[in-house]
Chains A and B, each alone.
Chain A
């Protein structure tokens, strides 16, 4: 544990405001999304093999799809890419947790296992971030579909991982710059997220809910694959 400087204390406070701002914008966004756009319904009787699929099963399958790399050809045929996805998002989770641990439970970071449990995913996410930058800047297909926000969000997250990795032990033995960097970026990040693609997780439950409900009703979700190539 360390004594915070005034600057760090200010940034800490700012980061809470930023978090509140993000929450407020999200409430507004969800309200807009739900009120502005009506949900389309389906009148027809269910199709598909009776009992095999239902809207409920479709929704659960659709939500769970993120944890079932075999469910989509696009992830099944790219296991390494899927692992990168997992590492990246575990890194995000760890880095966010750290935002709460440092101000609310810094004692936890005296435990080396906790430090390691945070540093490994954050470090891996940083490496994946670098790899994704190479892909987004270098791949013709990725460049064609990328907006400035796509590049900026990726760079922002990767740099944040770098600072988060250094910030994990919450040590100021070599100065505060890494903690300042980590909290400063997080503060900016929290305010920026609602305006960027990073807020995709806000819509994810909705898109997957509706596609799951529809394709569950229509006998498609859960996807039934035939016998493997003989």
Chain B
């Protein structure tokens, strides 16, 4: 392609903006590559696609480098073909570049640490993403999530009332679990020692992790709060390369901590959230942060070391392994603390190899989970991770990253690894030893007898107590017989009347005929498209009261539901489903009251 050929407006803008974006680190990386090929085998995409050099980091990097050379390095201006310089002219050229920088790289930085020249491909790949985003060329999922984060302040479009409602719900659950009606999940309390920020995924799909963190703060006697605004510590700007979005999101969080006069911002377990808040945030927001920031991993470890919480590792007897998030390990140096913590709360921790900064990506990094068009190649690239996991023979893989939770869950399911994914907060909460409250009779003339209150598990109940789902009719839809049986059994044991469906058509038919209270809906079933089924149910005036809880093992299918113009589902549960989470979510779904109802 000749540089003189007339360019599309977008192509010209991309080149102009590249000139503004380049800094010395990036320019050095673009100039220094000697095409030695040492980085090739460090990339999980390469390992999963033998014989296809287009996945090689140096090859991918050259798609960006050629533009740099053609327009900014005079060797490429004088002898473009000789040094491999070329330009982009058309919107199709930009689409091709998009498929490389978004679809063939998770910005995991593994090639960077394996480059003898110190070429930081991940950094200029992110720059290229940002340039494309700035001219409107990006995967659909990136556009949707970025828009959500710009408009609502969080990347999953969680409304403030839903967020606060979830905190209330978790507070009630904890009060019930610990039999302590004074236990609070404090919101907007000024002058606390800790302001806790979370990932919106926790509100939407994993509220139990919020409850677990609250339980730990409570046990530690921490002075803490959560902000009602600016609570999202994730930052899609890291993935999209949009520094303006990155600065805006980080700035909102920093402002909320300052407004509350918090002393320390604790960031829940999330690799990209930690990196973008703790490391990149001040740079993007161009402001110095006047308070401390730390990962909740450090916080939990500190509580144990300081004796503020007690843990009993025998409560986590299963073999566990640890997956280092790329952002934590390769960009923030957070890899020893989670191991120290694991050894304190688990009986059998075993390493996976390679590990720490040399670990392989979960395949869900760089925002890959939101780019469903690249899902097949993402899953294919997961073979290396699947083999790493299998080799450990552990029952659980622990990770301090929500993206990794989804990425690993996908890999485990796709390659039938037979492992569950969990986070440190769940293990610490499970191992937590909480002194039971002692009820002391007041104004008694005799010596008081100490009575220990015994917690009553939800759903089991004392004799004669009504089961939590008694009288409820639940339509359970899943095409996997094991899942169908399991979900049905859990709900039935808790008093619900179960109706079963295994195809999309059956769901529609039974929903109309049986009028259940709740529908638990698997997103991947044969027959009629489940997104369409969901849409038809929502638009059916006779099914206006039907509450829907999505249960899926394919997080990338969320968009089938959430991007529709109808009311979103009332609940969401990731597979693999566990009994406690299922029950908590179904109960919560039943409690939802719609304003238009």
Contact = CB atoms under 8 A, between A and B. Distances in A.
A224 B357 contact: yes
B40 interface: yes
Contact of B35 (A34, A197, A214, A224): A197
B374 interface: no
Contacts of A227: 351
Interface stretch (A4-12, A96-104, A139-147, A183-191): A139-147
Interface stretch (A41-49, A111-119, A173-181): A41-49
Given A49-B333, A145-B59, A212 B118 contact: yes
A43 B336 contact: no
A140 B53 contact: yes
Contacts of B38: 72, 74-75, 81
B51 interface: yes
Contacts of A66: 116
A65 interface: yes
A37 B19 CA distance: 9
A200 interface: yes
Interface stretch (B8-16, B80-88, B534-542, B555-563): B80-88
A204 B117 contact: yes
Interface string B351-369: 1011111100000000000
Chain A CB count within 10 A is highest, among B27, B54, B292, for B27
B73 to A, nearest CB: 9
Interface in B169-189: none
Contacts of B72: 36
B25 A200 contact: no
B29 A207 contact: yes
B206 interface: no
Contact of B53 (A144, A203, A204): A144
Contacts of B583: none
Given A145-B58, A220-B330, A206 B281 contact: no
A170 interface: no
A66 B118 CA distance: 10
Nearest to A38: B23
A141 B332 contact: no
A33 B351 contact: no
B32 A200 contact: yes
A215 to B, nearest CB: 8
Given A37-B24, A140-B53, A224-B336, A218 B331 contact: yes
Nearest to A227: B351
Nearest to A210: B25
A47 B119 contact: no
A33 B39 CA distance: 25
A47 B72 CA distance: 34
A48 B356 contact: no
Contacts of B42: 73-74
B112 interface: yes
A137 B230 CA distance: 55
B398 interface: no
Interface stretch (B208-216, B282-290, B477-485): B282-290
B333 A219 contact: yes
Report the interface size class on chain A: 35 or more
Given A145-B53, A210-B25, A197 B34 contact: yes
A2 interface: no
Contact of A219 (B39, B83, B120, B334): B334
A151 to B, nearest CB: 10
A223 B357 CA distance: 7
A47 B37 contact: no
B28 interface: yes
Contact of A39 (B24, B56, B281): B24
B355 A226 contact: yes
A158 interface: no
B279 interface: yes
B113 A72 contact: yes
A19 B59 CA distance: 33
A18 interface: no
B302 to A, nearest CB: 13
A147 B329 CA distance: 34
A37 B27 contact: yes
Nearest to A148: B82
Contact of A73 (B22, B112, B354): B354
Contacts of B336: 49, 224
A195 B289 CA distance: 44
Given A33-B28, A147-B83, A210-B28, A42 B332 contact: no
B497 interface: no
B283 A224 contact: no
A149 B34 contact: no
Contacts of B114: 72-74
29 contacts: A33-B28, A34-B24, A40-B24, A43-B288, A44-B279, A44-B280, A65-B116, A65-B118, A74-B42, A74-B116, A140-B51, A141-B53, A141-B56, A144-B59, A147-B83, A195-B78, A197-B34, A203-B32, A204-B117, A204-B118, A207-B25, A207-B28, A207-B118, A214-B25, A218-B331, A219-B334, A224-B336, A224-B356, A226-B355
The 8 A-B pairs at the shortest CB distance, nearest first, are namely A219-B333, A48-B333, A147-B84, A144-B53, A207-B118, A74-B114, A208-B118, A203-B32
Given A43-B286, A195-B79, A204-B117, 16 more contacts: A44-B280, A44-B282, A45-B292, A47-B279, A62-B118, A74-B39, A144-B56, A204-B118, A210-B28, A210-B120, A211-B25, A218-B279, A219-B334, A220-B113, A220-B331, A226-B355
